[in-house]
Amino acid sequence: MATRKLVNGEYVDLTAEEIAEIEASRSNVVEETFNAAMTQLRNKRNDLLKDSDWTQANDSPLTDAKKTEWQTYRTSLRNITSGLTTHDEVVDVTWPTKPE
């Protein structure tokens, strides 16, 4: 991070307060970016769960083995946000493969 600024054509050192303000602003941007990515991830995950709700119904036409495949898939979807702490981790999530 630059620790100087241009004032009236001359470079001067930033104050400790100015540096703290810049760092806080950067931290807020990082947090907001992460939160936005997590919201998008959760929305997609929720849509995928909703689209597969029918597989777990009592009157589902699936065999018990297929229901189990779908249960595993749905568990993976529910756990997809576990342990994510950075924007890059969220963006690089590997989605589970939907059963056929």
Report the pLDDT averaged over residues 24-34.
88
Q: How far apart are CA 37 and CA 67, in angstroms?
A: 31
Domain contains 8: yes
Which amino acid belongs to residue 57?
Answer: A
In the prediction, which pLDDT does 1 show?
A: 67
pLDDT at res. 28 = 85
Per the structure, the complete domain to which residue 36 belongs is given by 4-91
- Residue 33 covered by a domain: yes
Selected residue with higher pLDDT from 27 and 68: 68
Residue 9 within any structural domain of the chain = yes
H-helix or E-strand spanning residue 29: helix 16-51
Across 73-77, average pLDDT? 98
